[in-house]
Structure 1
Amino acid sequence: MGTSTGSRFERRGIDLVPENERYGRPRDLMFLWAGTTMTVFTVVYGAFVIALGLSFPQAVVAIVLGNLLAYPLLGLASVQGPATGTTTLTISRASYGPEGGRVLGVFAWLTLVGFEAGGLILVVFAALTLLERAGVAGTPGVQVAAVVVLAGVQLLLPLFGHAVMMRAQKYFTAIFTVAFAVMAVLVLPKVDFAAATGAEGAPVSMVIVAVALVMASGGLSWAPAGSNFSRYLPRATSRRAVAAYAAVGGFVPYVLLQVLGAATASITLDVSDPISGLPGVLPAWFVVPYLVLAMVSLLVQNSTNLYSSGLNLQTAGIRVSRIGMIVVDTVLCAVITYIAVVGKSFYDMLNAFLGLLVIWLAPWVAIYLTDWLMRRGRYDLDSLSGGRRPGYRLPGLVAQALGMVVAALWLHSSTYTGPLASWTGGADLSIPAGMAVAAVTYWLLARHEPAISRSSR
């Protein structure tokens, strides 16, 4: 069950990485997360913020604040990897028990499958647009072929595994940086910043909704994958370096590209459609390079999702190899993509997905980090791998349930508004409320448990 090399597939799943197979440096995480988050999806999220009715200054505040709150969560959720040598959701068993952790593994798996499908849908739309420009009509047969071929392409990087992905992301980060810089140079001169800045704007409650959207689309949703990539670092690796490099790697591209998306939305709100809308503000000569950039960047992002989602499904107790999990995910992702491509329902699905996903994520990350602090980073590795103390831990499960109830009551999304959100004028406080209730509940219930008490000495 060794690590991957450039010539063979990685077969390791959620089993512990032995010290003699550790490698890399914390700064490698910066390139991983920069390459993963540098996609047209990130530009779209910035446009969504403007579509909520915010002025450009309000959008910038929401983007910066949302990412400042979210990406430290990814950084902190990456710290446990070197100490344990295993994945984030496996470490999370310390809070819920091996059996209880299966439920969270399913939630995390479904989350990443949703992001994978969203990315592949846009990749297929871009490919069909390129084919139409070349004179090939998007018939049902062409659509099926595009889905199958592109799903197979996105399968490759996660199959080769951690070592190849970490190496490839350094090159992709450099390429994407140049490409998006060119795009910014082409688009920003067309933006009337005076008009965008002078717009009336939205009430504070809608700015809070935008902050929640930014958090859900970025650092918060990536947190369950944090230690999946840091687990190969040597045990003695600096915790501060791990947290800082992971957080900065995601934070910088997200802020820059989301601000670009918000600025571009002042030209046309069709920027929320990155395939048929956004190219309308680009010079004709750059449309084809842009569509290729969209496809490649989204396929790279999906490779990170696919790598982690298979690991999450193993945490859920499904006894299939990591490679088998990736294949299963790819097939499911392809089916969802075909349904969305035929039904033209992508944006409704994306809005609903982003809104509901915080219900489980906010309580989970609060419990995960509270448990880490309470035990001062010391874990019983046999227990994490299911070797001892199987079953459930009520503190984690009770705190998760209460946190999810509170988050749902305070959620304000395109498909659902909770009663507490309505009571506060439409403000979406689902993330801070869900986190606070889950963290306090877990601390109250777990602080006298023997395992926590011994770890805290």
Structure 2
Amino acid sequence: MSSSDKALAPSQVETRSVDFVPHAERFGKARDLRNVWFVGNVNLTAMATGVVALSLGANLIWTIIAVVAGSLFGTFFMAFHSAQGPQLGLPQLVQSRAQFGYIGAALTVWIFALANYIAYNTSDAILSGSAMNQIFKIPAELGFFIAAVIATVIAIYGYSQIHFVNRILYWPSMVALGLMTIGVVVRGKFPEGAFDLSNFQLAPTMTAFVIVAGFQLGWAPYVSDYSRYLPAKVGVRSTFHSTYWASAMSGVWVFGLGALASGPNGDLTPVAAFKEVGDSIFAGFGTILLILLLAGLLIVMSVNAYGGSLTLISMLDSFKSVKPTKKLRVAALLVMGITVWGIAQFVGEARFNTFYGNALVFLAYLFTPWTAVNLVDYFFVRKGVYVIGEIFKKDGIYGRWGWRGNLAYIIGLVTMVPFFVTTPYVGPIAKSLGSVDYSLFVGLPVSAIAYLILAKGIDLKKEAAMAAAEGNLTK
């Protein structure tokens, strides 16, 4: 095996981090993404998203409708980000320097992205600890630590190890979901009015939609990290479809099961509710189900830790030039693991629903303007043509601050604020509309249109000539 990462074996530690993946080192097929993004949603935290959605106040049938719509909507944007990976060979957030600038990306997008990784992995660690307590009878606090360690070790091996483990878990995950679906049907016991379509409440239904869409959109800042080693010839269409259908369908299935599992007894914790469903099939299956869901959760934690480490390195590099070595990536992963463990200890299982629900909503707000700016730039302004070398230069053609992207982001976010619906704050327009959350439908078009207008001054011919001379986009 050569020292390059081409066809890197799962047992080898990945050497690359935030740098460009040369075409000679690319490998794999679009269908490899199906394993990652199907299994990515088959875990305790994703299932708990359905529990949180149901707890908002809508009845079961309208919660499920919101879950389906939110998953299909949020995944649509996430999958288009995935499509950038094979074409550019870059981690998603590094590519954001083209819109937000070398330093600007670090002070806006990357800070929010880091919060995203930490919030999700904190939630994951809490549920992992709870599951370990149920399965192995160890203290949940110790479970937080064990989960952080396992996720960090997998993430240290990197890209190929993550793909490898997801490939192994694909069919067991499918079987687990199928059996859990049977368990939900067998157990039954849904409250009166659970499936009454006439009992429609707009506010909790829309908030459930935002939470689920936000969960799927939360993958966007690092989704192309797992497609960047694919050959550029894979193409946008096949990358999009492999990502979209795997993630959207598993999302609908898992979020829906979460809502159905907690429907009969909303007082149970998510982990206890899922165990009860498993045991309704046969005694002891609840424990087997938790083990499978725990395995999926640990893999997702490694995915988050991997992306978070790349973000930390990119932020550091924005202020002080660093060489993206294997040791630096390991150090960044250790920082991520310790941070997640510490916050999980502070939040604890008792405050999980409140912490997780608010985290999902706020992260959806923060990433909505970014996804609009990034996708408009890639597909409509620069049309996939970037000068890769300039992205790594502080004073390159993309500048330090990228005022166009940052201004469009701020405009989009500011216009969303009056539409916010959260526990600590409800915007004035949202109040006048009955506390219904329309913020995503405001932020996306406003940010996109603002960036399209501001981008008219970009010298696209000059950039295209530089990209052609550089040759990194040659397929």
Q: Please give the alpha-carbon distance, in whole angstroms, between the structure 1 residues aligned to 2:245 and 2:372.
A: 20
Partner of 1:328: 335
Partner amino acid, structure 1, of 2:38:
A
Structure 1 alignment gaps of length 5 or more: none
Q: Please give the alpha-carbon distance, in whole angstroms, between the structure 1 residues aligned to 2:271 and 2:196.
A: 29
Q: Please give the alpha-carbon distance, in whole angstroms, between the structure 2 residues aligned to 1:70 and 1:241.
A: 18
Q: Please give the alpha-carbon distance, in whole angstroms, between the structure 2 residues aligned to 1:295 and 1:48.
A: 19
Partner amino acid, structure 1, of 2:258:
G
Question: 1:147: Cα distance to partner?
Answer: 3.3
Question: 1:345: Cα distance to partner?
Answer: 2.2
> What is the TM-score when the length of structure 1 is the normalising length?
0.92
Q: Please give the alpha-carbon distance, in whole angstroms, between the structure 2 residues aligned to 1:122 and 1:12.
A: 31
Question: 1:454: Cα distance to partner?
Answer: 5.6
User: Secondary structure of the equivalent of 2:271?
Assistant: coil
Question: 1:365: Cα distance to partner?
Answer: 0.1
C-alpha spacing 1:89/1:145, structure 2 compared with 1 (3 Å) = same
Partner amino acid, structure 2, of 1:430:
S
Structure 2 alignment gaps of length 5 or more: 466-475
Question: 1:192: Cα distance to partner?
Answer: 5.1
Verify: 1:163 aligned to 2:170, yes or no: no
Partner amino acid, structure 2, of 1:329:
M
Partner of 1:148: 145
Mapping for residues 263-278 of structure 1, pairs under 5 Å? 263-270=260-267, 273-278=269-274
C-alpha spacing 1:201/1:54, structure 2 compared with 1 (3 Å) = farther
User: Secondary structure of the equivalent of 1:73?
Assistant: helix
Question: 1:453: Cα distance to partner?
Answer: 8.0
Partner of 2:241: 244
User: Secondary structure of the equivalent of 2:332?
Assistant: helix
Match of 2:276 among 276, 280, 283: 280
2:85 and 2:91 in contact (8 A); partners too = yes
Partner of 2:34: 30
Mapping for residues 16-415 of structure 1, pairs under 5 Å? 16-103=20-107, 104-132=109-137, 138=139, 145-191=142-188, 195-198=193-196, 201-218=199-216, 220-270=217-267, 273-283=269-279, 284-318=283-317, 319=322, 321-341=328-348, 344-373=350-379, 374-386=381-393, 388-389=396-397, 390-415=399-424
Q: After superposition, what is the alpha-carbon deviation per residue over 1:116-167, rounded to whole angstroms, capped at 9, x for unaligned? A: 11101111111123343xxx6x4xxxx5543333321121221111112112
1:56 and 1:196 in contact (8 A); partners too = yes
Partner amino acid, structure 2, of 1:35:
V
Verify: 1:417 aligned to 2:426, yes or no: yes
User: Secondary structure of the equivalent of 2:457?
Assistant: coil
Q: Please give the alpha-carbon distance, in whole angstroms, between the structure 2 residues aligned to 1:282 and 1:238.
A: 41
Partner of 1:442: 451
Question: 1:452: Cα distance to partner?
Answer: 7.4
Q: After superposition, what is the alpha-carbon deviation per residue over 1:219-259, rounded to whole angstroms, capped at 9, x for unaligned? A: x1111112111110112212100011111111111101222
User: Secondary structure of the equivalent of 1:198?
Assistant: coil
Q: Which runs of 4+ in 1 moved over 4 A?
A: 192-195, 452-456
Partner amino acid, structure 1, of 2:225:
N
2:274 and 2:286 in contact (8 A); partners too = no
Q: After superposition, what is the alpha-carbon deviation per residue over 1:377-402, rounded to whole angstroms, capped at 9, x for unaligned? A: 11111122226234111110111111
Q: After superposition, what is the alpha-carbon deviation per residue over 1:63-92, rounded to whole angstroms, capped at 9, x for unaligned? A: 121112111111100111111111111111
2:278 and 2:287 in contact (8 A); partners too = no
Q: Please give the alpha-carbon distance, in whole angstroms, between the structure 1 residues aligned to 2:390 and 2:237.
A: 26
Tell me the percent identity: 24
User: Secondary structure of the equivalent of 1:447?
Assistant: helix
Q: Please give the alpha-carbon distance, in whole angstroms, between the structure 2 residues aligned to 1:92 and 1:453.
A: 19
User: Secondary structure of the equivalent of 1:316?
Assistant: helix
Q: Please give the alpha-carbon distance, in whole angstroms, between the structure 2 residues aligned to 1:84 and 1:131.
A: 44
User: Secondary structure of the equivalent of 2:234?
Assistant: coil
Partner amino acid, structure 2, of 1:335:
G
User: Secondary structure of the equivalent of 2:9?
Assistant: coil
User: Secondary structure of the equivalent of 1:348?
Assistant: helix
C-alpha spacing 1:107/1:80, structure 2 compared with 1 (3 Å) = same
Q: Please give the alpha-carbon distance, in whole angstroms, between the structure 1 residues aligned to 2:271 and 2:259.
A: 16
2:50 and 2:67 in contact (8 A); partners too = yes
2:416 and 2:440 in contact (8 A); partners too = yes
User: Secondary structure of the equivalent of 1:196?
Assistant: coil
User: Secondary structure of the equivalent of 1:305?
Assistant: helix
1:53 and 1:202 in contact (8 A); partners too = no
Question: 1:300: Cα distance to partner?
Answer: 1.1
Q: Please give the alpha-carbon distance, in whole angstroms, between the structure 1 residues aligned to 2:111 and 2:255.
A: 30
Q: Please give the alpha-carbon distance, in whole angstroms, between the structure 2 residues aligned to 1:13 and 1:454.
A: 25
Q: Please give the alpha-carbon distance, in whole angstroms, between the structure 2 residues aligned to 1:260 and 1:326.
A: 32
Partner amino acid, structure 2, of 1:160:
Y
Q: Please give the alpha-carbon distance, in whole angstroms, between the structure 2 residues aligned to 1:212 and 1:78.
A: 21
Partner amino acid, structure 2, of 1:303:
S
Which stretch of structure 1 is more off in the superposition, 10-19 or 385-394? 385-394
User: Secondary structure of the equivalent of 1:155?
Assistant: helix
User: Secondary structure of the equivalent of 2:11?
Assistant: coil
1:400 and 1:438 in contact (8 A); partners too = yes
Q: After superposition, what is the alpha-carbon deviation per residue over 1:395-416, rounded to whole angstroms, capped at 9, x for unaligned? A: 1011111111122221112332
Partner of 2:470: none
How many corresponding residue pairs? 446
Q: After superposition, what is the alpha-carbon deviation per residue over 1:90-135, rounded to whole angstroms, capped at 9, x for unaligned? A: 1111111111111211211110111011101111111123343xxx
Q: Please give the alpha-carbon distance, in whole angstroms, between the structure 1 residues aligned to 2:135 and 2:310.
A: 34
Q: After superposition, what is the alpha-carbon deviation per residue over 1:435-456, rounded to whole angstroms, capped at 9, x for unaligned? A: 1111111111112221378659
